[in-house]
Amino acid sequence: MDARLNYTASPTAGKVLGPVMAAGKAVKESPLPPATQELVALRVSQINGCAGCLDMHTKEAAAAGESAVRLNLVAAWREATVFTDAERAALELAEAGTRIADAANGVGDEVWANAAKHYDGEQLTALVILVSFMNLVNRLNVITQQPAGNYQVGQFH
């Protein structure tokens, strides 16, 4: 599959995506636990069908020591026993924040309160930005059919 657009060849994409990627790097450096960040990135990307992001975040998480069992069970996190309560709360918020069009009220108070039990204000801020960031990047990739499978760990660092 060939991508519909080559972002690296576009001056407009360069102007826009440079700051966007800098925002992603800032989230990476936030106090939100790295494992939680990768799990959330995977779940949002699964929902949105972003193969490129699934390729990247699966490989990055594995390289950081995440187990294959946990990576394989992200899609079924509600039934899996391998996630902490805090990770479950983050995954729940990620799903609600990604599927806002599916719910008349967006992210419900119960979902928010559950996440707030496990994360402080700075971590919640990072989590909300991460969910939003992943949705943006997923849409860029899905719309332009960016191919997956060739990502190398650390490629975008």
Domain extents in the chain: 13-143
Domain 13-143 CATH assignment equals 1.20.1290.10: yes
Task: Tell me how far apart the 2 most distant CA atoms of the chain are, in Å.
Answer: 46
Predicted TM-score (pTM) of this structure: 0.94
pLDDT for the residue 23: 94
**pLDDT class for 149, splitting at 50, 70, 90?**
confident
Question: Cα torsion for 37, 38, 41, 46, to the nearest 10°?
Answer: -150
State the sign of the Cα–Cα–Cα–Cα dihedral 49, 10, 20, 113.
negative
Q: What is the mean pLDDT of residues 59-88?
A: 97
What confidence category does residue 2 fall into, taking pLDDT thresholds of 50, 70 and 90? confident
Instruction: Identify which of 149, 150, 140 has the alpha carbon closest to the alpha carbon of residue 8.
Output: 140
pLDDT value of position 156: 79
Q: Are 148 and 51 in contact (CB under 8 A)?
A: yes
